[in-house]
Amino acid sequence: MSHGVRLRNFRALTHWLIYSSVILGLVLLVQLYAIVPSWLFYLVLAGWIAYLITAIAVAKDLKISYPVSLTLAVLTLAVSLPQPEHSSLVQTGISFALVTFVAGSVLQVGVLLSVSIYLFETQRLSQPRD
């Protein structure tokens, strides 16, 4: 497989993961609306809007969108993983909330990996060869 094809595949995977994060974030917002304080809901909504704007920037192929998506994925994991409520979800068994949490975490790790590889490969291919 040529480097160009591999790079396009990573780019497509990266886009798919970012768009999926936005869609799953919408599912999360619906779940949170009735169960968290309004200030927390609006904080999560602000994060989702940032992710939506980033996804639009990704669709427009703006280079800044990739580092921003990395930042948002790290922030999302840093905020969500340590929450004690999330560990209690694991202990209570499979639920829609648990599936959303696990899927969201997996998506964020996927965004981190795919964007990192995509940026590394893009930089590597743009280096002049001797």
User: What does the pLDDT average to over 73-95?
Assistant: 73
What is the pTM assigned to this prediction? 0.85
Percent of the chain clearing pLDDT 90 (strictly above):
58
Cα pseudo-dihedral 30, 36, 51, 106, rounded to 10: -80
Under a CB-based contact definition with an 8 Å cutoff, are residues 63 and 55 in contact?
A: no
Under the banding of pLDDT at 50, 70 and 90, the label for residue 87 is low
Tell which residue, 91, 93, 68, 79, has the closest CA to residue 32.
Answer: 79
